[in-house]
Amino acid sequence: MPDPIFAHPRLAAVHDTFDGDRDDLDAYQEIIAELGARRILDLGCGTGSLAIRLAVSGLSVTGVDPAAASLDVARAKPGAHLVTWLAQMPRAQFDVAVMTGNVAQVFTTDDAWASVLADLHTALRPGGVLVFETRRPEYRIWDEWSIPVAQTRDVPGIGPVEQRFQLTDVRLPLVSFRYTYTFPDGEVLTSDSTLRFRDRNELDAGLTAAGFQIADVRQAPDRPARERVFLCERP
C-alpha cells in the first residue's frame, strides 16, 4: 500500500508544491538520451513530473504508480495525454526503466525488493537498462533528519499549507519518518513512511540475483557523495 502522502487526494494535491522544481530529474533525462532509449517505464511515477517531461520530448512513456490520487494529479497536468498511466506493471518491453527519488528504498523487505527487480527484469527488453538512485547509508542522512522541520507554502488553489517533518524511528537498515500537514481550513493529515538503506554489497547481490549486470554506478548530481545512481543492464 502506498503511503498517504501519495495516496490521499488532499496530500497528493500539495505534493508538487513542497517537492520543488525537481532538478534531480535532469540526470535521468540525460542518461536516457545517452542510452538512446525510446520506450521508457517510470515506476513509482507519482504525480508524473519525469514521465510528462520525457513524453513531451517525444519519447514513449508509461508511468506506473499504485497511488490513484497521485495519478489523478498527473493526469490533470499539461502534456499528460502523451503518457500511458497505469496502477500496475505492464507486460510491454521497454528500453529503460527508472525509479527516481526514494522509490527504490520503499521496498523494505527482501521479498518485496526481489519481486520488483524480477518485474523490472521482465519489463525490460534484452539489452534494456534499469536506472535508479539510492541513498548511501554510510552518509547517515537520518542524523540530519533528527531535528524537526516545519515550512509553510502557498499551494495554488488551496492556500497556505504547513508541512512538519519528524524523524520517528531508526532501526537500521530501516528509517521511519512522519509528515504532518495543516490546511487552511484547520484539517490536519499525517503520513508515515519507512525507507530501507541498502549498502553496496546488498544492492550488488540483489541485482545480480535478479539477472542484472551493473554497467555503471554514478554519484547523484544533486547530492554527490550522498546518493548513488545505478545503471543495470538486462543481458
Distances (CA, A) of 108 to 105, 144, 156, 176, 207: 7, 21, 34, 11, 15
Please give the pLDDT value at position 23: 84
Please give the pLDDT value at position 21: 79
pTM (two decimals): 0.95
SS3 145: coil
Give residue 76's Cα distance to chain centre. 19
Q: Which three cell numbers stand for residue 4?
A: 498517504
Please give the pLDDT value at position 225: 82
In this predicted model, what pLDDT tens digit does every residue of 151-184 receive, in sequence order? Answer: 999 999 999 999 999 999 999 999 999 999 999 9
Please give the pLDDT value at position 15: 96
Locus of grid cell 495516496: 7
Judging by beta carbons within 10 Å of its beta carbon (0-12, 13-18, 19+), is residue 104 exposed, middle or buried?
buried
pLDDT by residue for the chain (235 residues), tens only, comes to 789 899 999 999 999 999 987 888 999 999 999 999 999 999 999 999 999 999 999 999 999 999 999 999 999 999 999 999 999 999 889 999 999 999 999 999 999 999 999 999 999 999 999 999 999 999 999 999 999 999 999 999 999 999 999 999 999 999 999 999 999 999 999 999 999 999 999 999 999 999 999 999 999 877 778 999 999 999 9
SS3 85: strand
Q: Tell me, what amino acid is at 30?
A: E
Please give the pLDDT value at position 142: 97
How many CB atoms are closer than 10 A to CB 47? 26
